[in-house]
Chain A
Amino acid sequence: MRALVSLLAGGLFGAGLLLSGMTNTTKVQDWLDFFGQWDPTLAFVMGGAILPMLIAWRLTAHRRPLTGGQFPKPATPELDRRLILGSVLFGMGWALAGLCPGPALASLSYGGIGGIVFLLSMIAGMYAAPALGAQLDRVAKAA
Chain B
Amino acid sequence: MQMDWIWGLGGGLLIGLGAAVYLLGNGRIMGASGILGGLVDNSDRSLERLSFLAGVIGMPLLLRPLLSPAPETHLTSNIAVVIIAGLLVGAGTRIANGCTSGHGVCGISRFSLRGIVATLIYIGAGVVTITLFRHVLGVI
Measured CA separation A19–B93 after assembly (Å): 24
Task: Say which residue of B73, B81, B95, B115 sits within 8 Å of A96 (CB atoms).
Answer: B81
B85:A86 contact, CB within 8 angstroms? no
CB proximity of A76 to chain B, nearest CB, Å: 7
Task: Say which residue of A9, A25, A86 sits within 8 Å of B95 (CB atoms).
Answer: A86
Tell me if B's interface is mostly helix, strand, loop or mixed: helix
Binding site for A on B (CB under 8 A): 4-5, 7-30, 32-33, 36-37, 40-41, 45, 47-61, 63-64, 67, 70-77, 79, 81-97, 99-101, 103-115, 117-119, 121-131, 133-135, 140
Tell me if A's interface is mostly helix, strand, loop or mixed: helix
Does any Cβ of B come within 8 Å of A4's Cβ?
yes
Measured CA separation A63–B113 after assembly (Å): 24
Interfacial chain A residues near B13, Cβ < 8 Å:
16, 48-49, 51-52
When C-beta atoms are compared, the residue in chain A nearest to B22 turns out to be A9
Given contacts A14-B55, A79-B117, A118-B85, contact A110 B64 (CB under 8 A): yes
B5:A44 contact, CB within 8 angstroms? yes
Q: How large is the interface on A (under 10, 10 to 19, 20 to 34, 35 or more residues)?
A: 35 or more
A109:B60 contact, CB within 8 angstroms? yes
Closest 6 CB pairs of A and B: A48-B12, A125-B90, A10-B55, A20-B11, A121-B86, A86-B96
When C-beta atoms are compared, the residue in chain A nearest to B87 turns out to be A125
B114:A13 contact, CB within 8 angstroms? no
A-B CB contact pairs (8 Å), 7 listed: A16-B11, A19-B11, A56-B16, A56-B19, A83-B114, A117-B86, A128-B91
